[in-house]
Amino acid sequence: DAGITQSPRYKITETGRQVTLMCHQTWSHSYMFWYRQDLGHGLRLIYYSAAADITDKGEVPDGYVVSRSKTENFPLTLESATRSQTSVYFCASSESTGGSYGYTFGSGTRLTVV
């Protein structure tokens, strides 16, 4: 199916474990983004990528690692999960960093770290 998909939709993990959130898009969009959304903070950018093998930090990158070996995939890894990383994570894609159509978001992953 065309679009942007995230997996898993829900994840519970323990403190200290490594966890990877997946994001896949079928449009061949150049740009992909990871945001987290928390009450009181809104959407905050974690990392973004302008193309395969090009990534850059956003506002809140600490504790996260990304890679982009293929244009369509942009996984986000929490190297050692902490309770403060409990959040809803949204992946998004776009033809550019702005553009008249903005970003298209995946359905999100709700992550709970216990």
Partner 1 sequence: GQNIDQPTEMTATEGAIVQINCTYQTSGFNGLFWYQQHAGEAPTFLSYNVLDGLEEKGRFSSFLSRSKGYSYLLLKELQMKDSASYLCSGPGNTPLVFGKGTRLSVIA
CB atoms within 10 A of CB 10: 9
Q: Binding marks (x or -) toward partner 1, 83..112, rule CB under 8 A? A: -------x------xxxxxxxxxxxx----
Q: Which of 7, 22, 43, 73 binds partner 1 (CB under 8 A)?
A: 43
CA dihedral (45, 47, 79, 72) in degrees, to 10, reads 120
Selection from 89, 43, 88, 99 nearest residue 66 by Cα: 89
Sequence letter at residue 32: M
Question: Restricting to residues 44-73, which ones interact with partner 1 according to CB under 8 A?
Answer: 44-45, 48, 58
Q: How far is the CB of 68 from partner 1 (least distance, A)?
A: 15
Which C-beta is closer to partner 1: that of 35 or that of 64? 35
Compute CA 110 distance to the chain's CA centroid, rounded to the nearest angstrom: 12
Q: Which residues bind partner 1 (CB under 8 A)?
A: 31, 33, 35, 40-45, 48, 58, 90, 97-108
